[in-house]
Each structure stands twice: as C-alpha cells, then as structure tokens.
Structure 1
C-alpha cells in the first residue's frame, strides 16, 4: 500500500509540474529530504522516483514560458565558484572512479538548487518551498520526538535506510538544521492552530535531537537553541520555554544517555574519537601535500596508507570542515566557508530591508531562522561528514529566493502565484465569508 501511495504522489505531481515547474522542484525536495520511498517494503524502494521527477522538472522548465531568473548575488556567484572548484579537484582526484561517482551525486544536488532558484517566482512559491522543506524533515522530527517520549529515551533513533540521514548522528544533524525552518513556518501560518501545530512539531523535533544519542548534535542543538533565542521576536517566552523544557527533558533521559554524553570529556579513551582525530590529521596531511586536495572520495583505506598519522586506523572524515579540507584543499575550504558567510549576509540584508513593515514580518523571521539553521548545521557538522547533504543548500536557496521575489525581481500582480491550501485557499474563503456576512446594526430601544 505504501508503494502505491508514493507512486501515486509522484504521478499526480507530473501534470502540475508541466504547468508550473516549481511544483517539480518541490516534489523533488520531498523525495530528496523526506525519502518516503525508503520506508516502503516493495518495488518503491528501488524505483527511480528522484530521477523521473528531475527529468520531468528539467523538461518542464525548458518548455515553460514562465520567466526564469537566477539573480547573480554574491551568494549565487560563490555557489557557482564552489561548483567550479570541486569539479577542478575531481579532475586531479587521487581516487578517480570514486571521485566522479561522488561528483555526479553532488552535481545533481547543485543543479536542483540552481533550478529551484530559477523557477521560484512568487512570494507564495517561497512560502511553499519553506513549508515543503520543513514538513519533509518535520515528519522525521515528529516521529522521532514521539518515539523518544513514548520509550523514555531508552531507544535510539534511525532515519530512512540508504540515505544521508540513515543513522542516528546524521538524522540528528538534519533535525538540528530543520528546527528553525519549522519555526519559520509558524510566522506565515494562516491560523492560530496551524501556528501552534508548527511550534509543536518544532519542539518534538528538538526532543528527537536529544533522543538521538548524538554527542555532536547535542553541541549543535545547544548553539542552535542559543541563536534561536537571540533571533526570536519574543525572547521572554522563548527563554522561559527553554528554561523549563530542556532541564526537564535532560532529567527524564535514562542513565545510558548521560553516560554517552559524558564520554565527550573522556575522548582519550574513546576509540571513535581517536579515530576521528586520526582522520583529521589525514585531511591536513593531504592538504599540505596537494594544493587541490585529494578530490572527492579521498577518505579510503588505500590513501590512508599514504597520508594518515596512523595508517592502520581508518575512519571517514567525521567533519564537514576536514572533509572539504582533505578533498578540496585549503582554498576549497575557504570557498566553502565563504558560501555560508555570504548566506549569512544575505539573511541580514533581507532583515534590514524588511525593516518594521508588518507585511514583511514573516520574511524577516524566515531569514533569521535560515541564519539559525546555518549555525546549527555548521556546529553539528563539525563532527559529521555531511558537506554535500541537500538540506543546507536548500537553506541557501530559500535565502536567495526570498531576496529575489521581494527585492530583486518582485512578482507582477497579473501573474498567478502557486496556490497551496495551507497558504492561501482557506484564507481566501475566510475573507470572502467576511465580506459576504451582513453587518449587524444595533437595535433601537
């Protein structure tokens, strides 16, 4: 049954994608981030949903008469420079077969990100993009949070198998990064109940971070929570919520969770931690010897024999920074960090331009939450090799699209926006009912 439902979802999206390509990129985001086909038990597990959606979306974009625009802001230019540099390093990669296989995967992500920026044209398109990303990962946050509460935190969490977020650590990083985006949805939710639902999902997603037993995610979640409070429009309420909920949740976690978190202090006795340090030394040695780095897929047992401080201990990078350093060199790492620096500047620029305009409060909040997502990703990512994970690039795309539709290329009034029931139809019916309702006149006594 699940297989047929997933297939039906994909098939139903095709006519709408042919009409408006933005539907295609939203559908792709669902399959890329939520991975609904990975929680089925039949043919859907190996069916090429993502490839079909990508091809249909690309053809629809080429055939569509809608005006496509990629604004060449500093962030977009930096993203293109990163794409060029990682392609250059792949040419001189130490592991040619693995490098081009990884390059192919990364370029698919980059192509979709650029395509998303190009076909997102209206304010509602941007809201739909934020909602899609938030719901896709909020599904796992809601599921993980409820599981943690029901089991008392005794059982760890796992994501969809065979994906970027398949194990507890990678799933936790995705949850840390997605919490602010779920909070952003509450800023443009049409009713108080949908707003409360978004906040509830964000809270349960935060619970799932703690229930993941991931030490890196705990540090990332702490930094994310701090910046979420700093960027919040209601610091008193947010502060009280954190002050009451977090200590209560930590006390409720079982003793094995506490032992796992306390092992951070005893990294000298932790084989996993020592293996990571050895991998980081490997990345530094590769970058010192090769200005372009080792290229994609450098972290292999064979190359460890040449550059690792201890060639007998093999671990993957376990850090987005050392992963990029080892694969693309010092200059590649600088380019990578600059990309997020320009993303932060884009968010600040959006907040400044929105000012105190009440009509743009949602946009300023979304920009701030994207900045918080970047902080969460870059903190938790210091201990995980997820430099090419889709989610942070969607955050960058949201910032570019937000600036594009509001200040660079505002949508003309005569162009129909993408309408989703959650964003517009219910509100339109409510407004129509209010206009049609008779005005009560006071009775004469």
Structure 2
C-alpha cells in the first residue's frame, strides 16, 4: 500500500510539474532529502527521482515563470566549483570509481540551479523550506520518541542515502532545528506553534540519541548561535536550557562515557583514524594540484600520503574531503560558496531591519545562518561535502536576498537630484540672455 501511495504522489507531482515546475522542485527536494522510498517495501528511489527531475526540467523550459539562477555570487561560486570538479575528474587516481560519484554530485548541482530558477516568490520559498523541515523532522520526531522509550540505550540510524548513518542523520537534524524555529515564527495558530515546539524538542533528543560526538559539538554551537540570533534572549535561553537539561538527563552512562572521549581523542582509534585521513588529504593536495578525484580512500593512496598506511578511512570532514579530492583550488571555491551564502543572509537582515513586510525574510536569514553554523561545525567531522541539504540552504538564502532586494527596489522612492543647469525654455516663451525663460538682465 505504501508503494502504491508513493507512486501516486510521484506521478501526480510530475504531471503537475509540467505546468507548474516549481511543484517539481518540491517533489524532487522531498525525494532527495527524505528518501521516502526507504519506507516502502520496494526500491526505486533513483527512478522516482529521475521522473521528478525530468518533469521539472521539462516544465522549466515550457514556463515563463522563472528567473535567471545566476543572479548571486553564491550561485556563481557554485558554478565555478562544479566546473572545477569537471576539470579535476580526468586527473582522478581511480577514474572508474570516481565517475559515479561525479555524476551524483553533478545531479545535485544541476537541480540546485533548477531550484534557483523556479523558486521566485515567498509562497514558493515557504513551501521549499516547509518540505525540508517535513522531510527531516519526520525522522527527528520519530527518533526522539524512540530514544525516550528506550532511555537512550540504542542508537538512532537514518533511512538511507546521505543520511543513512547515525552521524550523518544527526548533522542533518542539527541543521533542521533552526528551520523548525523559522516556521514557528510564521505560524499563526497556537496548536501549530505547540506542535513545532514538540517537534523541535524531539529532534534535539534524536541528535543525542545518535550518539554522535561530532553532532554533539554541532548542536552545542548551533544552540549558542540560535540564542545569539534570537529576539527574546531570556525566553530562548530558558527554553534551550530546559530542553538540554531534560534531554541530557535521560541519556545513559555509556553515552556520557562516549562523549567524554572528545577530550581524550588521542586514546580513541576512530579519532586518530580521522587525523590520519586528514593528513593524507593535506599531503595529497600538496603533491597534486588537481587533487586525487572523488575516490581516493584506498590503501595505495594512504601508503603514499598518510602517516599510517594501513589505517584507511574516509575523509570524515567536508574540508579535507574537498581538499584531497579537488586540491586547494577546489577547497577555495567550496569555501567561497558558503562565504557568499552567509553574506547574502547578512544582507537580508540588514535590508529587512525595521521593515514589517520583510520580517519573515530577516527571521529566515538568521535561522539559515544558525543552520550553517551547525553544518560548518559538524561537517568538520563528516564527509558530507556533496549533501543536498546545505545547497538547499544556499538556495533559500539567495532567493530571500533577491526577493528582499526586489521589494526594496519597488518601494523605495529615488532621491530627486538637484538641477545643476538652467532648465530649457518653455515652449512659446523666449529665453533671456542667460538661458532663463523671459528673464531680463540688469543694465550695466
């Protein structure tokens, strides 16, 4: 039954996307982030995503309701990074293994630009943010209940795709919590706000229930940033403190022992393996201008560039992942994407300050910055450089900036410039000697 329901939703959404392609963006985002096919008995996630993508791009070419996706520095930085991965691909150490990973990232970047072209109103942007929250908060609420019922003694795992692992799911949920808060600021009904409060708390519990040390650091940094960006700091300080105390109090002793290894990382094999992989990526990038390609986590590569040859690990860091795979140029372009994304959000908060009609954009941009802090912190310990969600945050930041600038341009009256030269004579009236209409000059 669930399989039939999924097929109905996908094909109905695809048909709607032919006329209103922004609906296809919502469908694609739901499929790529939530992985709903993992909740059914049949597979077919790739085929569902392909149907949504083809219908959306067909609608994109047929509709006039679109704008250029290249209107922001963040979008141009993403395009530059994508092109650079095309340049580095032929220099891959393991070309055949790198090609499928390159195609996967290319699909994500292509659909990111499709999103930028079709999400061009506040209504569409709210749907876009809403589907992101729904796709991930579903697992947040579900995992939170699971953690409470078993006292935190069992790990919470993800559904599949990029967020299959416990660490990956935890980071995605950390990035989702600020978006839940944004929806809460927009809700007008008390029961909706109460439901979002409950979802936010359960999602925070799920993050702890994954037993992820990197996510524990990420949620701490994210919580502090959320408090800094909040309007009512006393209320939010109390709320975050209460949620944290309740959530931490239910975690078992084994969980506390695992979190305690953060301070003694030298004695933890997993932590030392990550440091070994980071040094490998650094040495590889210094020796190879174009990096080693998408697939470099093999024994021969570690034997040549890592301090410990036999300790083969994934990068476990978005920064060292990009550095090892695409070199220093790739890392620079990757960081440039997030620099401009942050700057766009900051621009929105500046332009929207004091404008009642733009308060939604200011709240959204602040929460996007909070989400990015979670990604920057947790991403330092996970290989999620090509994960969909951060690029979706970039889309939201860019679209919010463009909409705010559009509103400001439409409502701000231009300042009248002073006339520096005499006006031309009016029709039918002779001009005086100095050019002033009908003005007599005094006798000398």
Cα separation, partners in 2 of 1:205 and 1:55, compared to 1, 3 Å: same
Partner-residue secondary structure (3-state), 2:162: coil
Residue 14 of structure 2 corresponds to: 14
State the shift of 1:410 in Å: 9.0
Q: Distance in 1 between matches of 2:368 and 2:10?
A: 28
Cα separation, partners in 2 of 1:321 and 1:170, compared to 1, 3 Å: same
- 2:390 equivalent to 1:380: no
1:268-417 map, 5 Å: 268-408=266-406
Q: 1:164 aligns with which of 137, 162, 175?
A: 162
Residue 23 of structure 2 corresponds to: 23
Unpaired runs of 5+ residues, structure 2, are 411-444
Cα separation, partners in 2 of 1:371 and 1:98, compared to 1, 3 Å: same
1:44-443 map, 5 Å: 44-45=43-44, 48-161=47-160, 163-408=161-406
Q: Distance in 2 between matches of 1:302 and 1:321?
A: 22
Partner-residue secondary structure (3-state), 2:186: coil
Contact kept? 1:187, 1:366, Cα under 8 Å: no
State the shift of 1:95 in Å: 1.4
Partner-residue secondary structure (3-state), 2:58: helix
What TM-score does the superposition give when structure 2 sets the normalisation length? 0.89
State the shift of 1:245 in Å: 2.4
Contact kept? 2:277, 2:306, Cα under 8 Å: yes
Partner-residue secondary structure (3-state), 2:341: helix
Range 392-401 or range 271-280, more displaced: 271-280
Contact kept? 1:305, 1:311, Cα under 8 Å: yes
Q: Distance in 2 between matches of 1:210 and 1:359?
A: 37
What TM-score does the superposition give when structure 1 sets the normalisation length? 0.89
Contact kept? 2:129, 2:179, Cα under 8 Å: yes
Residue 427 of structure 1 corresponds to: none
Contact kept? 2:31, 2:48, Cα under 8 Å: yes
Q: Distance in 1 between matches of 2:248 and 2:391?
A: 31
Cα separation, partners in 2 of 1:19 and 1:273, compared to 1, 3 Å: same
State the shift of 1:361 in Å: 1.3
Q: Distance in 1 between matches of 2:80 and 2:371?
A: 23
State the shift of 1:121 in Å: 1.9
Q: Distance in 2 between matches of 1:189 and 1:319?
A: 36
What are the Cα deviations for residues 178-203 of structure 1, in whole angstroms up to 9, with x where unaligned?
11111111122242222222232122
State the shift of 1:66 in Å: 2.2
Higher RCO structure, 1 or 2 (CA under 8 Å, sep 6+) = 1
Q: Distance in 1 between matches of 2:18 and 2:269?
A: 52
Q: Distance in 1 between matches of 2:6 and 2:113?
A: 26
Contact kept? 2:155, 2:211, Cα under 8 Å: yes
Partner-residue secondary structure (3-state), 1:48: helix
Contact kept? 1:405, 1:411, Cα under 8 Å: no
Unpaired runs of 5+ residues, structure 1, are 413-445
Residue 36 of structure 1 corresponds to: 36
Q: Distance in 1 between matches of 2:45 and 2:338?
A: 34
Q: Distance in 2 between matches of 1:72 and 1:120?
A: 13
Q: Distance in 1 between matches of 2:119 and 2:185?
A: 20
State the shift of 1:288 in Å: 1.0
State the shift of 1:46 in Å: 5.4
Q: Distance in 2 between matches of 1:331 and 1:135?
A: 36
Q: Distance in 2 between matches of 1:407 and 1:95?
A: 45
Contact kept? 2:155, 2:209, Cα under 8 Å: yes
State the shift of 1:401 in Å: 1.2
Q: Distance in 2 between matches of 1:89 and 1:409?
A: 41
Cα separation, partners in 2 of 1:98 and 1:409, compared to 1, 3 Å: farther
State the shift of 1:300 in Å: 2.1
What are the Cα deviations for residues 317-362 of structure 1, in whole angstroms up to 9, with x where unaligned?
0111110111111221122112111111100100111112222211
Q: Rg bigger for which structure?
A: 2
Cα separation, partners in 2 of 1:45 and 1:156, compared to 1, 3 Å: farther
